[in-house]
Structures are given as C-alpha cells and as structure tokens.
A and B are shown apart, each in its own frame.
Chain A
Amino acid sequence: VRFLFSSALSPEALVINDPDFQHEDLNFLSRSQRYEQAIRKSSLMVMKLREHGIADPDEIYWFKSFVHRGRPEPLDLHLGMFLPTLLTQATPEQQDRFFMPAWNLEIIGTYAQTEMGHGTHLRGLETTATYDPATQEFILNSPTVTSIKWWPGGLGKTSNHAIVLAQLYTQGQCKGLHAFIVPIRQLGTHEPLPGITVGDIGPKFGYDEMDNGYLKMDNFRIPRENMLMKYAQVEPDGTYVKPLNDKLTYGTMVFIRSIIVGDSARSLSRACTIAIRYSAVRHQSELKAGEPEPQILDYQTQQYKLFPLLATAYAFHFVGAYIKDTYRRISGDIIEGDLSELPELHALTAGLKAFTSWTANAGIEECRMACGGHGYSRCSGLPDIYVTFTPSCTYEGENTVMMLQTARFLVKSYTQVSSGQRVTGMVSYLNDLSRQRIQPQHVAARPVTVRINDPISLVEAYKARAARLVEAAAKNLQAELNHRKSKEDAWNRTSVDLVRASEAHCHYVIVKLFTAKLSEISNAAVRAVMTELCLLYALYGISKNTGDFLQAGILTDTQVNQVNQHVKELLAIIRPNAVALVDSFDFHDVHLGSVLGRYDGNVYENMFEWAKKSPLNKTEVHESFHKHLKPMQAKL
C-alpha cells in the first residue's frame, strides 16, 4: 500500500480523477441530497479501500480525506469509534460475533454517548442498563427527556447498531458507566426495532452530510453478552467484576485531541491560503492618488490581519506533529503498563486542544472577514471551513473545561514545587519558584533581559509570564480556600484566573516548540523564513497580551513599543513570501473548495460561472413570479 504516497499514484489520481467520486457542487445541494452523496461516496470508498488493500489507519484517514475533501461523512463513527471500540473493549467471543459483520458493513454502528442533558460531564449521563438475572438480559431505558441520546453521528438514518454508554445497575446498585452493543434497526428492512425511537436531530450550522441522531429506549432488552466485557464484567447471577485500570482511556483521549490540534492547523491553513491568495488578486482603493489601485495585500491593516494567522498555522502544524510523535513514543510504554508520562501529556493535550481550536476558530473568521463581501458567499469556501471546524471547540471536551483540566495539573505541579518536590517536563519552569521563598518577591519580578529579535529569549519571556500567572492563580485559589469552606467553590471563584494560567502555559509551549523546530531545518532559506514567522508569532502574541508582560515586569514600556514596531517590520518582510508560504501548504483546488482561493487566481470569471449554477437560477423566470408577484401586481 506504499503506493498511496508515491508520486506515480497519488491520492489525486486515485480519488480526485476517479469519475465515480464526482458530483455537483455541494453548496447547491439540500441537506438530504448532501447526505445521499456522502453515503454514496462512503460506500464506494469502502469498496475501493478493499480493492486497493488499504488497511493502515493513517492511510485510510488520508484516503478518506480525499474522498470527502476533509468533510464529515455518515460512516465516520462506524470507522472511527465503533470498530476501534470493538477491538479494544470486546471479548474474543464478542469480536467473533460482531467484528467481521461490522468490518463487512452488514453491521453499521455508531457510538452513543452524549445525551440531550449531558455532554462533557460524563458521570452525569442518565441512560440506564439494569441487569435482569431471570432472563440474563440488560433492560435499557431513557428515563427522562434529558437522557435521550443526542448528537451521535450516523445514528439518525444510517446505523443499525450502536454502542450505548449507560449507567449499569445490578443487584440494586449503580456501578457507573459501561458500554453496551445495542441493535437499533431491523436488518433487512432498516425499520427501528420495537422499544427503540430513533431519528435525525435536524439541521445544524454545518455537518449537513452527517445524520446526527437521537435515540430513546423503552425497556429495550439485550442479552447479557452484549455488554462490552473485556475489562468490567457482569456474571450470569449479576455479580459485578471491576475493571483493572481506568487510566487506559486517557490514551484514546490523547490520540483524539492530537487529531484536533492537527485539524486546527489544517483548517487555519486552508483559510489562510484562500484569504492570502485572494488578497493578492483583489485591488481596491488607492494608496497614492493617481496610481492604479493596489493589491489589498499591500495594506498594512490587511497584513496585520493575515500574517500573524499564517504564522499561527505553521506553529500549530509543529505542535500537532509534536503531540502525535510524543504519543507514538509513549504508546509502547502504555501497552507495557507504564503510564508515568500519560498524566502530563493528557493535561497538556487538553489545554492545547482548547487553545488551538479557539485560535483557529477565530482565525478562520478573521480570514473570512478579510475577504470582505465575497468571503460571505459560499463560493469562497470560508463559511464552510468555519461551520465544519467550529464544533471542535465543543466536542471531545468543551474548551473551557479542557483549560481547567490543564489548570488542575498546573496547580498540582505548583503545589508539589511549593512543598519542595521537583517537577519535570513542560512545567519544569515552576521549579524556579523555590528561589522565590528566599527572596520575597514575585517570581517573575526577577529581571529577565528580553532580546526581542531572538526567539530563544522570547521563549524565556513567555515562560516568565506563564510562571507568574500560574503562581497568581494558585495563590488566589489558596486565598479563596482560606476564606471559604468548600474546595469546589474556591475553584469556581478562581476559574477565570485558572483559565488564564492555562492559556499562558499553552502559549509558552507553542512558542517553545516552534523555536525548537527552527534548528531542525537544514535549508538556510527555509530556516530564514520560518524564523521570521516564529518571531512574528511570538511578538504578535506579546503585543496582544502586553498587560501580562507589563504587569509582571517582564517587559518595559520601551520594549513594548519595540515589539509593536518590530511586528510591523516583520509584516513588510514577510509580504513578498506570503503567497509562496500558503502555496507550500499544497492544497489541491478540489480540496480547497474555494473560488477565491484558486491556485490560478482567476477569481471573478469563476465566481460568475459558479453563480450561474445556483438553484435559484435553474429557470430564467423563477416560479415565485407566477405564484406570488404577478397575482399581487394584478390585485393592487
């Protein structure tokens, strides 16, 4: 299967040029039509994957992203959650019963976790699975409206099975959340089974091709053997056997969050490609009276909108690669049972998932706004990138909750340092706090001599800022604890500070990783331009957060001025390379899906061609004329 990555048979050749995968522009299709197209392509894709013998997860992901052009599709949950969960949590007997039928798509499954009333806080889920020893069955119920499963992809119309997460009750006791394989539709007719109410949750901001669904169960019975029992078990008489280790699930979460960091980088790169190419094509107004209208990319305000985002896109690429590599490196240890590095990685990825998805989300919108009115048309591709990307701020852990998870780890590390222990990894800068007890002053008030042209020196500045904000949050938390009784209350009253601390920590990590990357680049010209982007990323971050740096005494007023000035100089330096830097992302026009962002820059002609295909233009005179306008004119 290596050929996938050889130039002779690229994904372009396999997918983009394959007539089977062609279809009308998705922007002109209704939701039902988009769903239908997606299902058609998914079915074909499965067939072609088998034909080409592609089985490696990375290569499947790659192939899929070309078939669906980076868009969601109804089999996502089957391929991404249902099959892997069977592999990791099913017993050998269960694998025999379910895996091959699922692999052959006689069973299409989804993963039903989120409920109407509960998302990120899993322990609050309300669906129940009560064991009945008399018949050796579990009775599944959705006891309240809030307990209806809501959002799972592929559940609405596509799947005939679901892995359902429910509170397990046996021998009168609640044993917490467990996973059950639940058939939901009749094989053959695809009708819902008695006791199952299932459907589509209706239109959303994006994800038109996905049938996110609801599922309500009324005394629905499944055999005891349908509980996934590789770890926890319920014996025939109802005796519950506990699982060995629950930290294992961390591994999956780290993996999924690393994918979101990569998505943030990719989505932002696509948006930057479109906005920067269009800004080179669009001419507007005059800089100098009497001269031709300049490219809008020559305006300082336009550069100030776009180039920091370009630098951010590169930064996030490196961060995504780092997490993926780290995860690969330690996943061997995880299988061996060594979980020592996992808590830090878990805490770090939670914060980075939130940081990168928030930044990319805002960045995509900034790119769209920078394209003026045409950015608002769906032909720009930007509305679509935004609506597809924006739910990643919520799914796989709501961002604010993620930031607070990272904060919990930071506070824990701070407490360890305060009690004389040393900490390692990305938080090791907290060790410097030990000196603080000798000198009764703010940790960050120590003079840091910042050289604003030197990325390594800027990493130190970000480090000092993170240290100061972690310390401030930890101290505020302690002060609240001294005043109030409950831990939770104190935590809540400090949470704004805690989120700020996490953000500063993540920002530091990103600047550090970007800077570290520079020395690995062997080509001098590439290294030079990457160094400019790295400097821009770091300096722009300072200019947007000058309060933190001034308050902690890391920078002086004069240095803040220099930072602002240097940011503007870098804009001018990057300007000649801007288009080349987005060309390097190497998005195929078909994948980019944007008239404004075309590689050839022939924007206006193609906008006109595109508009002619709009559904409202199907007939020269719209039927509303005959139905409404004409009768009104006759009557008035």
Chain B
Amino acid sequence: MNPFSSGTRLRDMIRAIRACKTAAEERGVVRKECAAIRASINENDQDYRHRNMAKLMFIHMLGYPTHFGQMECLKLIASPGFPEKRIGYLGLMLLLDERQEVLMLVTNSLKQDLNHTNQYIVGLALCALGNICSAEMARDLAPEVERLLQFRDPNIRKKAALCSIRIIKKVPDLAENFINPATSLLREKHHGVLITGVQLCTDLCKTSTEALEHIRKKCTDGLVRSLRDLANSPYSPEYDIAGITDPFLHIRLLKLLRVLGEGDADASDSMNDILAQVATKTESNKVAGNAILYECVQTIMSIEDNGGLRVLAINILGRFLSNRDNNIRYVALNMLMRAVTADAQAVQRHRATILECVKDLDASIRKRALELVYVLVNETNVKPLVKELVDYLEVSDLDFREDLTTKICSIVAKFSPEKIWYIDQMLKVLSEAGNFVKDEVWYALIVVVSNASELHGYTVRALYRAFQTSAEQETLVRVTVWCIGEYGDMLVNNIGMLDIEDPITVTESDAVDVVEIAIKRHASDLTTKAMALVALLKLSSRFPSCSERIGEIIVQFKGNLVLELQQRAIEFNSVISKHQNIRSTLVERMPVLDEATFIGRRAGSLPGAASTATAPSVSLPNGLAKPAAPLVDLLDLSSDDPVAPSSSGGDFLQDLLGVDLSPASQQSGAGQASKSGTDVLLDLLSIGSPVQSNSVDILSSNTSNKAPVSPLDDLSSLSLSSRSASNAGPVIDLLGGISSSPPTENNGPVYPSVTAFESSSLRLTFNFTKQPGNPQTTVIQATFTNLSSNTYTDFVFQAAVPKFLQLHLDPASGNTLPATGNGSITQTLRVTNSQHGKKSLVMRIRIAYKINGKDTLEEGQISNFPRDL
C-alpha cells in the first residue's frame, strides 16, 4: 500500500471533526482532509477510493463542497466488486442530483448493472435509478426496468416497481408500457411487491387515463378482495403494527381504490362494503389505526356518493376532532376542509369545536382551523364568527396575527350584512392589528365610508375614539386622518348622530390635534404624513378658527427633507395665505368614490359588458352642480362614473390622466407622487382643482369665447401659481372652445354617419371625413339637435380622448340650440389617432347647457365609431 497517501480512517476523521471546539477549527480539519482526498484522487489511488468516498459523504453532510469527488463515484460504480459499487452508488445519490451532467456518464454502468447476475448489484442500480434518474436516463433505461418487473426475486420486483414510478413521472409517455406488468404485480402475495405494485398503479392512473380505465375495469374487484383478505387476516407478526396487519398496505389499497372510484359509480359501488367494514372495524386507539381510518374517510368522501357511508365518515371526523391527540385533531381539520365541498352542512355542525381550534396553542392546528373557518363562513353565521375571531385577535400571537387579520378582513368584506357592521368590524381590526392590514383593505374601507353618507358622522367619531387608544396602528391613523379631513365638521358638531352612540365633545382644536399627532409622529411613514397634510388643508377651511394654527403646522413642513412633503407644504401654505377666496371650493368634500368601479378594479376587470352607446345620466351624482363641478368632474372620471363603461372605456379613463387613477391612488396620491411628476396632479385633483397641463388649454380655448369662464379662470390661475411648468407627458385637449366654424370640405373616403349620443332631450350625430394623405386624422362634424320643447342656451360641448388620440375642437357654430329640432349647432372635431389601424376611436363627452337659466349637464361615452378611423 502507498505509505504516502492519507492515513486517517473514516472513524478517526469523524472523531477529529467532533472534537473541534469552534467552526474555524472544524473548517481546518475538513480542509486538511479534503486536501488529502484530492491528492489521493490525483494519484488515482485504488485502495483508498472506498474510504475517501465515505469521508467525502460525511464532509458533504456537514455542508462543505465536495464536487471534486463526483468522478470518484463513477469510478467506484464501474469497478467490479460489490463493496465498491455499494459505496459508489451511495455517493452518487448523495453527492449528485439529477441536474448534473456528470450523471449522464453513469447511464452505461447502470445499464450493465441492471443486467448483472448478482441480484444485489441489480438492486443497487435500481435504487440509484429510482432516486436520481433524469428524463434522459429514464428513456434509456426504461426497457431494463420493465423487464425487471418480472424478475424471479420479489425484492428486485418491488424495487423495479418504485423505479418505474420515477420513470413515468419523468417521462409520462412511457406510462403505457408499464400498464400490463404493473397490473400483474397486483396479484402478488408478497407484501413488498404488492405495496409497490399498488403504488405504481396509483401513479399510472394519475398519469394516463388509459391506465385508469384499464385498471378500473380489470383490477377493482381484485383490489377489493385483497383489502378484504388483509382486513380479515389473522395475526401475522412480521407485518403487525399495533394489532393491525400491515397498515401501509391498507392505506395504499385504500388510496388506489379512491382513484378508481372517483367519478365511476360502478367501481364505487363495488367497494362500498369493504369501506364500511374498514371504517367500522378498525381500532382507533393507535396511530396506525387512525391512519387507516383517515385514509378510509378520504376515500369515502371522494368516491361517488353513498349517503350512509358519508355519514359514517363525518362521524369518524367528529370523533377525531374531539380527540385529545393534536395529531388526530390536525388531520380531522385537514379532512373537514376537503369534506366541505361534499357536505357543508355536516361540517357546519362542528363549527364551535373548529372555532376553539383557532385558539389552539399549536400553530399548525390554528392555521388549519382558521382556513376551515374561512370556508365555513356564510351570511347567516358571519356575525358570531367574526366576533369570535376579532376577540381572539386581541390575544393572539404576533406571528399569527397577520394571517388572522387578512382572513377577518376578507370575511368581513365578503359577507358583511350591513355597512355599519362592516365599519365597526374594520375599526376593531384596525385598532387591534392595523399594522397588519393590507393597503387594499383600508382603501376599500374608505370607499365604503365615503359611500355611506348617513354614517360619516358616526365613523369619524368612532375613529376619533379609536385613535385615542390605538394611535400606533399605522392604517388606523391613515383612515382617521382621511375621515377627519373630510368629515371633521361632523366630528366637532356631532352631526348625523345615531341612536346607539354617546355624544362626545370634541373641539376643533382637538380634531386638529389628531392630525398634528399623526403628522409629527416619528413612526408615521410618508403616506400617512402626506395624507395628514391634505387633511390639514381641508381642516383649515372647515375650521376657520384653527386656520392660523394649521398654517403654522404646514409651514413647519416647508423645510422637510422629503421633497414631496416640502413641495406640498409650500403649495398648501400659499393656498391658505394667498387664495382665501377659492380655498373653500378647492377643499370641497371628495365626491363619492364609486364602489362598483373600485371593486371591479380590485378584481382586475371593469364591470359591465361592452356597451356601445352608454346611457346618459341627466341627474348629477352627488349634486355636483357647482360652477367648478363640470371641470372637476371631468377630471375625476373614475370616481363618479355613473354608467359602467365598456372595457376599452375603462382603459380610456385611466389613460385620460396618464396615471392610474384608482380611488386608492387618489387617497394616497402623495405616496405615489414620489414616483413620477404626473402624480402631483392627483393631489390637486383630490382637492378639486384641475390638472395644470390642461389648464393651459383651458385658458387658451376659453378666452376666445363667452362661456362661463370665471370659475375656470380662478382654478387655472391657482394651478398656474402653484406650479406652472407642465411635466405631464403629452398634452391632452380636454376642453374645446366654442364658436362657429364653417364645415370643412369632404374629399376623403366615405364613412357612415353615426348617432353618437342620444338622450330624451338631445341628439348628437357624427359625420366622418378623412383628408387624403393623412389617414391618421379624422375630421368629425358633430351636429347637435334639441329634442325637447325648451330652448337651450349657453350650450357647451366638451370631449376628452385617451392618450393615443389627439383631439382638436374648432369653435361651435353657436351656443343656443332652438327647441324641437328647429335648428342645430355644428362643431368640427379633428382627431388624430397615433395607433391608427390598431385601436379604434373612443371619446368621452360632456354637454352643458341652460334651460330657462337652469344648469343642465349630460355626459356619456362614445365607442361606436366606425372601425379604421
């Protein structure tokens, strides 16, 4: 033997490593050993290859790199003796995995060993193949494995069966080759072969429907018989576990029967008796018996319905659920979860016990139980269940709270019977676990609050109270700040008092205190601070007495390090100090946020099918008949869109402002604002002022005519003073001017004219022409006809288009529309489609006019343009 090669034995190396006191020391020993092994490998030392491999495996287990030993595995496998092969295959399985290319080199050795005369060597090769084979190897060696399924020794047959499972998982196409040999394994008496054969058949059934049909037809009865023989077999010491003969075989047979019985009444029928027998006769005082019962229940619940058996199964689960062993309770919860779909009523009976499990000490059980409760909730039991869960929230572990909070919020949102209950529960959750509440959840809460006008006062007072105790919950703070900003006056004056509340005395400065605390708290993040700043601006108008103090707070933020806050503070400060006359209009209450749109947006799709002509709404939502309203409203499209737009219309709404104008982003506009300059618009929007990029257009188009200009002027001057530079991408012509213009000459291709908009009082038709040589641009002549018996004065038509379109409006032919179709107004629009040929035109319109001096407004969306415009 070579006296210079590494001398330590495996045992000595392990001892040396174990004797190490520190990790560094251990690394030293391992480095030395590895160096010796590498040296030995380089010398191609045959005698120590065996021992080196064993050492490497140990070193590998400690987590050190051992890739340099991979080739040694192959050499050991290729050597003729059994001991070398044994350790070689072990190393192969341990040091390599199926993704390493080295593995391909072993295919040939494997093939030889699969045909070896020594059955133990065949066994080693099968074992290695079953544990690590890749798809390529599976393809190459499948015929050998298939042949070995009929080998004389049962121990090889069982190994070959499990190896086949791996092969068909890697290459499902090969499944059909295995169907016949697999079914013949089912007739064996040897338990090992039977267990593996049943397992192989189960996997075959899952991979190929052909196999499923074949086995269902040929083997169901045989399997039922095997199970019966097994269940009735006398005591056999070799396979006995806790008084039951071979529970493993029991379970596998039940599993295969389940696969065969699913969706097949005949097969299900033939196994009813034996399932009933197993379910009733199996001892349930040991793990093995319970494992069989558990499997049996699963089978009963999965196969075709048999009322009696189901009752039996649910009873077993009920027994499991009241068991004191945590493992049994865990599997019961697990199984009830699957049984819910089959028999929800029966599961509901165990609701109280399940609810107890939510409060269990064991995290695994809690998690299961919570999921089960979640599927058990319905309209009738939501109130008591949520009460329990919310109560538990107070005492639950911190790491469980996140899960619990999410589930409660989701249940409350899904099943809340009334808004006040929803608001109550959400406030409880926010005050208990507000830091775990996801953004969508509190956005949704604000949408609901804004829609429940009769609860505004109640909500803001409840939030005020909650804030006094739970000011550390970020999301609670945000919602509180938002609500105080919007409904602060209701808080102070106890407006909208419900019978159930106690009146509280809150002064104006108390309300400002809350916002001040929120904005000055160090833990508050940017979103909260930005929301607080907006709330302060709003309060400055609502509470004139506190205006000065608010001004001071805002001034403190003029030097804030966060650009967003600084900028906002400067803007708001100038609004407060220099623009008293328009402040109250600016800080109007937010228009009601549209629930349907919000929920639809959350679900990822907009509500409503594609409707070509949208129904016009004559009455204005939430009474926005103020002078500035049309403008605000037009910009604020998503929040009070009265009709469900078609899906393209939805994009259009978003495109219009060039930002994602979800209600959520409006509320937290400042949070997003740091991302792009465009978002700045949102903030201004939320207080009711126009987008500055548009304001330029508004000014230029309106100075030329005598439309109701003054409010617009005010607004635009505000935005110009606050920020004149426009950084909002392409400029969109939102509003057109109004004056007459001669119709343009038509000499392009002919398009049919369409009735773009029709209501009981007004009709709008479009005629289309294209200028030759400029296919992208369409000239639209709009003709307005009065269908009512009143004359319309101060008629203004406005239109808006998504970003990919450019719109130019010529002045209208007049601003008075005679009654009953006795005349018309015409106006020319020029639309340039930058996506010509890909997208068709869409347009959103708004028509304002006066009937006997009274303002009227109609709006709608036009998407029935001819294609190819």
Partners in one complex: no
Binding site for A on B (CB under 8 A): none
